[in-house]
Amino acid sequence: MESHLLSERSLVFERADPYAVSGYVNQHVGAHCIHLPRASNPEASLNHRKFASLDLCRISYGGSVHVTSPALETIYHLQVLLRGHCLWRGHQQEHYLAPGELLLINPDDPVDLTYSADCEKFILKIPTHLMQAACLEQRWLYPETGVRFLQNRYTLGELDGFVNLLAMVCLEAEAGEPMPKVQEHYAQIVAGKMLSLMKTNVRRAHLSSRDATFEHIVDYIDQHLKQDIDGEALARQARMSLRSLYSLFERHAHTTPSHYIRLKKLERVRACLSDDTCNVRNVTELAMDYGFLHLGRFSQSYRQQFGELPSDTLKRRH
C-alpha cells in the first residue's frame, strides 16, 4: 500500500542535503528544526503535493534525525510510518512507532520525534478550518476550543478504509490537470472520515437527531454565537417547526429563541469585556463580532441587562 502514497511523479528531492529538505518542509508543511549527528552524512528524499487545503508529503532523511517543533497552532499533522521506526515523545509518554502505525498531532501539541536511519513517513497536513467545516457539514457540535483528537496513535487496521482513502487522494493529486472543486470535496471527505473514525472531543449528536434536546440546541447556540442565528434558522437546523421551537423555549427558558440568543450574545460580550485575558481593542469591534451592528441599540440593551454601559465594564477591568 505504501507505493500508492505518492509516487515518483511527486518527487521534489532525491538523495539531497537534509537541511535543504528541512527548509522546504518548513515552507510547505510546518515549522520545525532537525538535529543530525555531527559525524553523519545522510541523503534525504522528499515527495510533495498540494491538494486543495491539504499538503501531502512523503519523506525520509536517510539517517537518524531528531525533529522538534513548537505547537503548530492551526495545523493537524497526521503521520503514517512506512518503514523503519520513530520514537514519539509527548504528554509525559513515549512510544516507538512501527510500520503501519499512525500518529496524530494536535495543533496545540509540540513535536518531538526521532527517526531511525531507515525511517520513511507519509505526512498529511490538515488545517484547523477544514475540521470546523467538516463539523458544520455533518451538523455536529463544534467545540468552542476547537477539535482535539483524544487518541494520538492508531494502527491502519483499526481505521476501516482510511488508508485506501489516502491512496485515492494521492492518486487524484498526481492525476493530470487539477480540479479545485473535486480536490476540496476529497479534502472534506478526509476530514470527515478522521472525525468519524478517531476519538475526538466533538459531540456527534446534532440538532436533527432524534435524541436532540433543549440542551443540545443551547449548546449549538453557544458554539455559534458569532454567527447570525435567528429562530427560523435554528428551527431549520433542528428540523422542527418554528412553532415547536418556540414551545420548547417557552417551556425551558420562559422566553423566545431570538430573545434567548440575544441575551447569550450580550452575556458573552460582557464576559469578554470583564476578562483581562480577553484581547479587546474596543467595545465597537467586539459588539460587531457578535452581530450588534446598531451600536446605540446595543448599548441600550446592555445597560438594561447589566445596569451599566459596556464602556464602564471595560474600564473597570483596567
Inter-CA distances, 234 with 107, 224, 240, 258, 287, Å: 31, 11, 9, 9, 22
* pLDDT computed for residue 285 by the predictor: 86
How far apart are alpha carbons 267 and 275 in whole angstroms?
A: 12
Taking the domains of the chain in order of start, what are their residue ranges?
2-197, 214-316
Task: Give the pLDDT confidence score for residue 143 in this predicted structure.
Answer: 81
Q: What is the chain's pLDDT, residue by residue, as a tens digit (318 residues)?
A: 455 899 999 999 999 999 999 999 999 888 899 999 887 789 999 999 999 999 999 999 999 999 999 888 899 999 999 999 999 998 778 999 999 999 999 999 999 999 999 999 999 999 999 998 888 777 677 787 889 999 999 998 899 889 999 999 999 999 888 888 889 999 999 999 999 899 999 876 555 554 457 887 888 888 888 888 888 888 887 778 889 889 989 999 999 999 999 999 999 999 888 887 777 778 888 888 888 988 899 999 999 999 999 999 888 876
43: cell is: 541523503
Query: Chain centroid to CA 46: how far?
Result: 25
Q: What is the CA radius of gyration of the chain?
A: 24
Closest CA to 201 of 132, 137, 251, 254: 132
| CATH code for the structural domain at 214-316 | 1.10.10.60
Are 104 and 154 spatial neighbours (Cβ–Cβ below 8 Å)? yes
Grid-cell match 446598531, residue found: 294
Task: Output the pLDDT for position 157.
Answer: 87
pLDDT at 223: 81
Q: What is the pLDDT of residue 206?
A: 56
Q: Please, which residues bridge with residue 55 across strands?
A: 50, 125
Domain 2-197, classified CATH 2.60.120.10, yes or no: yes
How many beta carbons lie within 10 A of that of residue 59, not counting itself? 27
Cβ-Cβ contacts under 8 Å for 97 (sequence gap 6 or more): 79, 81, 85, 86, 87, 88, 103, 153
The whole-number pLDDT of residue 59 equals 96
The structure's pTM equals 0.67
Res 209: pLDDT: 54
